[in-house]
A and B are shown apart, each in its own frame.
Chain A
């Protein structure tokens, strides 16, 4: 019995830690609708700044509390900087562009932390009070954990008072409901957003500093924290603080007892919880259906078929690409092969995100299933490469069909997070089933068939397949199917009233996108000769998102340009500088500011404007 009680209390302590990571994210999202990818980075900065401050202070509890608050204030200031210098300039940009911008911040912060604090994990020496414990039912319970159990609900209470008992809080809540009304009341919405962002960032900073006694400040904290935070926020319901606490409790307690019963469940548990919650409650535990924050539907630009000039540009690029193997070296050729695969991968996500209106944070699932499908086909079933390249898209499409039914019922960030949950579950299966998949060591020896083993031949094969698929996808989007799909995105109400079945349309779009991504994955497997769980990782999904957003979600030109630009930039930077994350991050931020509609989208608009003038 003692064990159960102590494990329960331990779960409560973990819940508080989770809540502190997530609270700021949900506050920021609830008001500004910004999907802040840099939240984990703020948490990590909080830990590092906290270390710098606390390792210079005496060890008493009061000093500790003061140091933590100071770290929180410091990170709040960082948050203000990010909001004023970056986000404020792009609030009017298409949804999710803020996500791209904050992803740039993530990269920049990683290198800054490495430069400022060095490569080693930094630990805070614990004074005796932090090491002390209380005997509960014959078991030792750390005093600091008991403290954490209290801190979570206290922060929740403080935030609740702040939002319900102050004028500022009332305005913020009003802004959450109806922005125009707040503007009409003569309140400076910009200042409101800046303060909200500062509060969210400060909470992340406090969370990071409070994690120090349990471990260390290290360079991996940001990505761990951001996934945890997103899961908690989504499970709880976007923008709901009590929901976030409830979700933290649910996850932490299931984790605490889950690892006793099934020790290997650690990789998937949170994602299974999230998937189940979203399937049962599409808006999270305590979330409400999201209202359109900015009336996006009315700001959608007209989608036009490509201008003749653009078509000729495409034909010229294609001819150049066909000709390329005669004048570029083998390495440049391998980079170009990679770019083509990335192009198809990004184009497949565009089908979902653009006309489908379904942002996905887990698109790598289909890519990875295709890659593994091809690898199993070659290694397990001894099929030929062409047969494996048929298995790849079909395998991915089948999974998309089975899983898609749950996805298409959701919308917005919830939908995106359910795809992430699915991707993480697939990832965990590939990662953990070592006997079948080799685990993280992957499946090796998936090299192209003899006739395609020459890099030039494989390049042409990839070029033919990828360009053909992108053109077919594009064609489908301009065919009745694509228009009907876009209709369900533009106005669900009207689409329903003219007899369009949004569910089937979106499901078919998802299956098509899955098949295309799966084919890209199959090609990637052969071009690299191996498959690894990294093909399904969050990084890979983020890559796809970045490529689509960087290029622009408006038309198929977006993902194509985005994929070429991002892959090229990344591959080049990786060779040129140790600080590639810093440079890549700054480049992304600059591109977001210069091309708020994506590179292709903004260029096209400017060109149109030039012609009209």
Chain B
């Protein structure tokens, strides 16, 4: 089942084409990686999907519904979870409260003024935290977590609205190599268990080839290749782009 369908989206900034006529789709339970050298248009492409940027042309549909140009808030409501390249969590709250706030937003219980917040969706929050392996840290302050734990917390927050699509922007940036694969395996397991479509950008080719079902390669705003790991590895244009740009497996 196709969750996300992208048809011919383009975006220019001051006459410079950042993304040109890109089309693809992601199916439920599928891990799709979006890769490309720096400046290839990955971030712009991502931002057009999550609502940060409106495309100049083209259409984005989520489960058959047109979401082109909607605000990030609306897009979350329609079932899109996100994690950020630089983690964004609520530092003055505990791990559990971070997830509870997301659940409150999801269940539309934000405008409640009397009953204390800790009494809302505690069990559901703990359940999500258990899924990402953070149950034991539920009472710790989010502000003091190790980086890898923050990433997992973000994942739990992103799952709070039971998303059909998960957008992960450079999910493993800044993590130790051993943690990277573990995090993405976790994401992969969640995707297949819950039937979530996952689209992620990534620099680390070990991660990409290790967990992605399918890979999209962008260069100068254009989609130059699409396929599974072996197909991409052997694609002449991809090799040219990557070898030419000097990038190697391992990212930064």
Chain A residues close to B by CB (< 8 Å): 297-303, 305, 475-476, 478-484, 486-487, 489-491, 493-494, 496-501, 505, 508
Binary A-proximity of B77-99 (CB < 8 A = 1, otherwise 0): 10000101000111111100100
Please name all residues of chain A whose beta carbon is closer than 8 Å to the beta carbon of B105 when the two chains form the complex: 484, 498-500
Q: A300-B92, A490-B92 are in contact. Are A480 and B160 (CB under 8 A)?
A: no
User: Roughly how many angstroms separate A302 CA and B113 CA in the complex, as a whole number?
Assistant: 21
In the complex, the chain A residue whose C-beta lies closest to that of B102 is A498
Kindly state whether residue B58 has any CB partner on chain A within 8 Å.
no
Which residues of B approach A to under 8 Å, CB–CB? 50, 72-73, 76-77, 82, 84, 88-94, 97, 100-102, 104-106, 109-118, 120, 141, 143, 157, 160-161
Whether the pair A487, B112 counts as a contact (CB closer than 8 A) is: no
| Additional 14 contacts, C-beta under 8 A, given A303-B93, A476-B113, A478-B117 | A302-B143, A475-B113, A475-B114, A480-B104, A480-B109, A480-B111, A483-B97, A483-B104, A487-B101, A491-B89, A491-B91, A499-B106, A500-B101, A505-B110
Tell me which residues across on chain A come within 8 A of B157, comparing CB atoms.
494, 498
Contact call A501/B73, Cβ cutoff below 8 A = yes
Collect the chain A residues with CB atoms within 8 Å of residue B115's CB. 479-480
In the complex, how many angstroms separate the beta carbon of B108 from the nearest chain A beta carbon?
9
The dominant DSSP class at the A interface is helix
Q: Are B88 and A494 in contact (CB under 8 A)?
A: yes
Number of A-B contacts (CB under 8 A): 111
Closest chain-B Cβ to A553's Cβ sits at a distance in Å of 11
Q: Which of B84, B105, B141, B157 has the most CB of A within 10 A?
A: B105
* Interfacial chain B residues near A483, Cβ < 8 Å: 93, 97, 100-101, 104, 117
Which residue of the partner chain A has the closest CB to B115? Answer: A479
- B93/A486 in contact, CB under 8 A: yes
Alpha-carbon distance A489/B90, docked complex (angstroms): 8
Q: Evaluate contact between B91 and A480: CB separation under 8 angstroms.
A: no
Chain A residues in 8 Å Cβ range of B100: 483
Known: A497-B76, A499-B73. A491 touches B90 (CB 8 A): yes
Within the complex, what minimum Cβ distance (angstroms) separates A612 from chain B?
Answer: 13
Query: Are A305 and B116 touching (Cβ within 8 A)?
Result: yes
Complex Cα spacing A342 to B234, Å: 73
Whether B93 contacts A481 by the Cβ 8 Å rule is no
10 A-B residue contacts at CB 8 Å? A298-B91, A299-B143, A480-B101, A486-B90, A486-B92, A493-B84, A493-B88, A498-B101, A498-B157, A499-B161
Assess the A300–B91 pair: CB atoms within 8 A.
yes
Query: Once the chains bind, are B88 and A491 in contact (CB under 8 Å)?
Result: yes
The reply to whether A479 and B101 contact each other, CB–CB distance below 8 Å, is no
Q: When A497-B72, A498-B106, A498-B157 are in contact, do A482 and B117 touch as well, CB less than 8 Å?
A: yes
Q: Which residues of B contact A497 (CB under 8 A)?
A: 50, 72, 76, 82, 84, 88
Query: Contact: B92 with A479, CB < 8 Å?
Result: no
- When distances are taken between beta carbons in the complex, the residues of chain A under 8 Å from B161 are 498-499
Pick from B92, B109, B117, B120: contact of A301, CB under 8 Å: B92
Using A479-B117, A484-B104, A500-B73 as known contacts, say yes or no to A494 and B90 having CB atoms under 8 A apart.
yes
Q: CA of A297 to CA of B115 in the docked complex: distance in angstroms?
A: 27
Given contacts A301-B143, A497-B82, A498-B105, contact A479 B112 (CB under 8 A): yes
Chain A residues near B117 (CB-CB < 8 A): 478-480, 482-483
- Contacting residue for A484 out of B89, B92, B101, B118, CB 8 A: B101
A300 engages B143 (CB within 8 Å)? yes
User: Which residues from chain B contact A482 at a C-beta distance below 8 Å?
Assistant: 117
Chain B residues in 8 Å Cβ range of A305? 116, 118
Which residues of chain B come closer than 8 Å to A496, judged between CB atoms?
72-73
In-complex Cβ contact of B77 among A302, A480, A491, A499 (8 A): A499
The residues of B that contact A494 with a CB separation of less than 8 Å are: 84, 88-90, 157
Which residues of A lie under 8 Å from residue B92 when comparing CB positions?
A: 300-303, 486, 489-490
* Cα separation A482 to B116 with both chains bound (whole Å): 9
In Å, the complex CA distance between A505 and B38 comes to 37
With a cutoff of 8 Å between Cβ atoms, the chain B residues found around residue A486 in the complex are 90, 92-93
In the complex, which of the residues A297, A498, A508 has the most CB atoms of chain B within 10 Å of its own CB atom?
Answer: A498
